[in-house]
Every structure is written in C-alpha cells, then in structure tokens.
Structure 1
Amino acid sequence: MDMTELARRIMAQDRRALARAITLVESSRADHRAQTTALIEILRETSDSQALRVGLSGTPGVGKSTFIESFGLMLLREGLRVAVLAVDPSSARSGGSILGDKTRMEHLSREPNAFIRPSPAQSHLGGVARRTREAVALCEAAGFDVVLIETVGVGQSETVVAEMSDLFVLLLAPAGGDELQGVKRGIMEMADLILVNKADGDLKAAAQRTCADYAGALRLLRKRPQDPEGFPKAMTVSALQVEGLETAWSEMRALTRWRRETGHFASRRAAQAEYWFGQEVRQGLLAQLDQPEVRALMQDMGREVAQGRVTPTAAALEILEKLRANR
C-alpha cells in the first residue's frame, strides 16, 4: 500500500480512502502500525486542515445517536462537512461489537458531506477506542469541518475523550440526579457544556428541573482558566423535536472563539499532544508483555502464585527484573 498515494486520496476527500486508512490505523499488526506512522507523518507535513473536535458522552439511553443525527443534519444545512467517530462497547466474552450507529443515524449516513465510522472499544478504557485520536487526524486531513466523537457511554470514568477534543459535551437525561449528583468529580469536571436531552412532551418540566440542578452544581465547581464567564453551562435540548440545537451550537462557537482569541485553544491542543506521547510510551511498554517468551514466563509465574509458593508482588518484581536484564 503506497502511503503517499493514500494520503493524496484522503486530502482529495475520497471517502473510500478515508475508510481504508481508518481500518489501517485500527490494526494492531506491526507492519500496519509502521504504515500508519508513515501516513500520519505525510498528512502532518502536507495538510494544514483543522476541524473542530467535539467529544460527546452520556449514559446509555440518553439519546446520543439521535442527538448526533439531528445536530449533524443541522451543521450540514449550514454548509459544514461532518465526521462522526462512534465507539461501541465490546463484549467481554466474545470481544465482538454490534457497531450499529450507522443504522441508528439513518438520515445522516445518507448525506454526501457526512461520514460515520463506528469502531469497537475492545479492551481500551475511558469510553473511546485506542486509535480514535489518529482517526480524528485522518478526518481533519480529509477536510471535515466538525468531528463528533461519540463515546461508549458508561459513566463517571469516561474522561479520555476530553484529551482528544476541543469541546466536551455531556448529555444527560431528565430526572437523572439532583444537584448533589451533579457535583460528582470526574466526568462533570471535564464538561464544557451539559445538555439535558429529551426536553419535550411530558419530560419537559423534568428536564428543566434537572437543568437547573446541574446549573447550580456547576457553580460549585472550581473555575477553570480555559473558561470565560458563564462556562461551563447547562442547557435543555430536544434532539427528537430539534429544539435548542442551534442555541447549543451558538454556545459552542462562542466558547471556541473565546479560547482561540485567548490562546487556550492552541495551548490545550499542545497539552493533548504531550498527553498522548506519554500514552504511546506506556502502551509500547505494555506491548512488551505480549512477546511469546514473556507470556510463557508470566504463565509459569502465575501458576506459582496460584499455588501459594510466591506472593503476587514478589512475582511481579521478578518478572520486571528479568525484563530489565533482557534489555
């Protein structure tokens, strides 16, 4: 596979080439990882495209797919090109994923200026796939204006997406918790905008109360330097009735504009690059444990631990010492 030609086709907005490149990025084969590194480097040197990266999280059933479809269609009407990177949970037993986001976003998936790519989370924690960050870079090089990153949707620990997005939007359901619930650390501290979805019909009043609860909770959190006055904020939306989406988009643009003008946008991206450098080093070290001789050694030591002949701590230290000695 010629990486220069693939990069050229991606920058020419060839959707098939983009899909092929993301498949390459998600592969764990050593030769594919080398090709991926070469491809990303070529695109970095030849493409200066920069999309707005929006991370979107929320518990299962909150309406993330419905919101993304309605929101994406609204952005398309404004003349923007939209990419959606959706991460589906993987089975702990079989390792498989349904990858049904394209089916749920039926109308958006048919639009020529939209691109939807579902990926399995596999064993990666934090709500995103391990290579989602590189997939975002590919979508930027393909000329998309907005990249929406939909996480698995598992709850408080789902904060890794904040390390690859410019804006982090948290979707909540009506009557999902009182003000004390909203003060919980973790995902709440990462959110730039909290949207209480399903604010329509019989749930509208409950959605407004929930929004007020979270707005009060946000005022109790320590102010962050990357936020102007009034942010982060809570709002109500109805993805089904397409209500409140334009206001939410207006707030996202206002926050992005302020961060660009004050230098927080660029500094945040620089900090994210440094964060992912550290993650790549850690993943590289962990990959050493997958070498056949190391796996065999760990199995032998695991049996020793299971039979009570050695403690887990002592066994782990012995493995690490042998890894150091083999370097």
Structure 2
Amino acid sequence: MDIVDLADRVAKGERRALARAITLVESARDDHKVQAAALLDQLPKDRQALRIGLSGTPGVGKSTFIESFGMMLVGQGLKVAVLAVDPSSTRSGGSILGDKTRMDRLSREPNAFIRPSPSQTHLGGVARRSREAVALCESAGFDVVLIETVGVGQSETVVAQMADIFLLLLAPAGGDELQGVKRGIMEIADIILINKADGDLKAAATRTCADYSGALRLLRKRQQDPNGYPKAMMVSALKEEGLNEVWSDLKALRDWRCAQGFWEATRAGQARYWFEEEVKNALLSQLETATARRALSVLGAQVTSGEKAPARAAQEFLIGLRHSDASKP
C-alpha cells in the first residue's frame, strides 16, 4: 500500500480514500498498525474541525437528531462527517452497522460522510480507533465531525476525551432533579438536549427540561464553562425544531473556549489521555502471547481448585511475565 499516495488523496477529500484509511486504522493486524501509524504521520496537522460528541440511551433519537442536524449544517455550506459506533454482539461479535439506513437523506449528501464502526470489545460507547478516525476526517477537510456513541449508561464517558463539545440526548420524562445531579455522564455534558419535544410529549419535555435546568445549577461550575453552561434545551429532531438554537449555542461555547485558551488545553489533555491508553493497551496485548496464555491456564486451574488465592496467583503471573520480558534480548 502506498501510504504517501493514500494520505495525499485523504487530504484532497476523496471519500473512497477516507473510507479506506479508516478501515486501515481500525485493523488489528500488526502490519496494518505500522501502516496506520505511518499514514497518521503523513496527514496535515493544520486542519481542525469542531468535534461534537453525542450520547444518549438507546431509542432516544440520536440518529434522527444527527440526520436533521447534519442536513441543517450541510444547508449552511459546511462539510459534515458522522462517525457512528454500533454495539457488537457478545455472542457472535458482529454488528448491524445500520446507521446509513437510518440517515437516508444525509447519506446522499455530497458534503456529508457517514462511517459506522463496530464497538467490538471496547468500553465507553466508542470504538477503539474512533479518535484516529476523527483525525482522518479533519485532514479530509470536514468542518464538523459528529461522534455518535452506542446507547450508553451513566458511567460511559470516553467520548468526552475525543470531543470538543459533548451533547447528551435525553427523552421526555427521563428523570427528576435527583437524576440530573448524579455523577458520571451528566456532569461532563456541555448541553443536555431533551429530544422528542413535540406532539403529546411536548408537555413532558418541558417539565423534564425544567428539572434538568434546575439540577445543572447544583453541579459544580467547570472552569471551561461560561455563565449559563452547562444547560438544558428542548429539541424535536423529527420536526427539526430547536436545531438552529443548538448550533448557535455550540458556536458561542466554542468561541468562548477558544478565546479563553481552554480549547487547545483540552485537546492537549486529550492527547495525553490517549497516549496513556495506548500504553495500557500495549501492556494488555502481552496477555495474548502463547506463553502468557499457558501461564494463565495453569494458574487459573489452581485458583479454580482452591489451591491458590486469586490475588496470590495474579502476583505470580505478573512476576513470571516480568521475568519473561527481562530474558528477551
């Protein structure tokens, strides 16, 4: 594979090259990992998109919101990339990857790019290489990158480590003020959107928005937030209502953070976070060697039989692993 040529075509915004590049960085093959690292080094570093993380429980309307929001942005002349993460089956390992089917209008737009990826075994609502995929989309010249997570719970917040602004979608009647002050995903959201604020659910959405607005005032103010943020808003993705207001708030929050110096500081902190994650993943990959698997099998059998305590067996395994590394030339 000609990495220089692929990087050049990605930088020119070729969709086929971008799709191929994302496939390369998502590959688990050792030779592909080397090529992916070389590709990322070749990309232009002077392009930045607005990275928007989007999360919410299953069925809250994330895909509908992204399509309506994306169509509005495309209508304003912006290029929009959507990285949608689909849950992988714990039984078969497969994923449906059906977000393009859901986003029928946006998928046909020439200035939009939708890429579904399986979550595989990665926790936190995103795929393991979502951050590299974001960098590729930025290099391809997209103005806005939307990162849609799988339907997540209270503690899955990894998407905030790759986004500039984090949106949380909630359904009407989804909780009271106490729910709103729970730690976890609530306290890292920049804007909470109460979706489906239309029809018979309009009244319930209004009450829910009021509850969360009150709850957010009780959360500790974050240094990178101007007055009024985090905030709760009502939207209807189906009726395409409230989208312009959301976009105006996103731009205002982005401009304020840039002016105050928080934008670059946050991205630098995120880079440090992913560096440490790469180190952790590299260490965990040592457990996949044949020697490590044999040791785990032997010690696991001893733990199962009650011959050794789990903590003691784990200590012996780690000591053996260190000795094995030290004996290598």
User: Secondary structure, in 3 states, of the residue corresponding to 2:95?
Assistant: coil
Letter in 2 for 1:245: L
- Given the alignment, which residue of 226, 229, 235 partners 1:228? 226
Deviations 1:132-189 (A, max 9, x none): 0000000000000000000011211220000000000000000000111111100001
- 1:2 alignment partner AA: D
Residue 186 of structure 1: which of 147, 159, 184 is its match? 184
How far, CA to CA, are the matches of 1:174 and 1:258 in structure 2? 30
Please tell me the root mean square deviation across aligned C-alpha atoms, in Å: 0.7
Q: Report what 1:166 is aligned to.
A: 164
Q: How does 1:81-100 map to 2 (within 5 A)?
A: 81-100=79-98
- C-alpha deviation, 1:247, in angstroms: 0.2
> Given residue 218 of structure 1, which amino acid in structure 2 is its aligned partner?
L
How do residues 124-163 of structure 1 correspond to structure 2 at under 5 angstroms? 124-163=122-161
Runs of 4+ in 1 over 6 A off after TM superposition: none
- After TM superposition, the structure 1 = structure 2 runs for residues 308-327 of structure 1, keeping only pairs within 5 Å, are 308-327=306-325
Q: Give the structure-1-normalised TM-score.
A: 0.98
Asked if 1:13 is matched to 2:13, the reply is yes
* Structure 1 match to 2:72: 74
Q: Please, which runs of 5 or more residues in structure 1 have no aligned partner?
A: none
Quick one: distance in 2 between partners of 1:131 and 1:315?
Answer: 33
Q: 2:267 aligns with which of 269, 273, 276?
A: 269
Report the counterpart of residue 203 of structure 2 in structure 1: 205
Percent of paired sites with the same residue = 69
CA distance in 1, matches of 2:258, 2:177: 32
Q: Cα offset for 1:72?
A: 0.2
- Check if 1:121 corresponds to 2:107: no
Distance 1:162 1:242 in 2: 25
Task: Tell me if the contact between 1:11 and 1:47 (Cα under 8 Å) persists in the aligned partners.
Answer: no
Structure 2: 5+ residue runs without aligned partners? none
Q: Secondary structure at the match of 2:113?
A: strand
Amino acid aligned to 1:244: G
- Judge conservation of contact 1:25–1:131 (CA < 8 Å) in 2: yes
Secondary structure class of the residue paired with 2:167? strand
C-alpha distance in 1, partners of 2:125/2:45?
28
SS at match of 2:39: helix
Deviation at 1:307, TM superposition (A): 1.1
Mapped to 2, the partners of 1:277 and 1:285 lie a distance apart of: 13
Mapped to 1, the partners of 2:219 and 2:143 lie a distance apart of 32
- The code of the aligned residue for 2:206 comes to Q
- C-alpha displacement at 1:47, in angstroms? 3.9
Take 1:193 and 1:118, find their aligned partners in 2: how far apart are those partners?
Answer: 24
- Separation of aligned partners in 2, 1:23 and 1:157: 28
Quick one: which amino acid aligns to residue 185 of structure 1? R
When normalised by structure 2's length, the TM-score is 0.98
Query: Does structure 2 conserve the Cα–Cα contact (< 8 Å) formed by 1:57 and 1:158?
Result: no
Query: What is the CA–CA distance in structure 2 between the aligned matches of 1:124 and 1:47, rounded to whole Å?
Result: 27
Aligned to 1:41: 41
Secondary structure of the equivalent of 1:220? coil
Secondary structure of 2:59 counterpart: coil
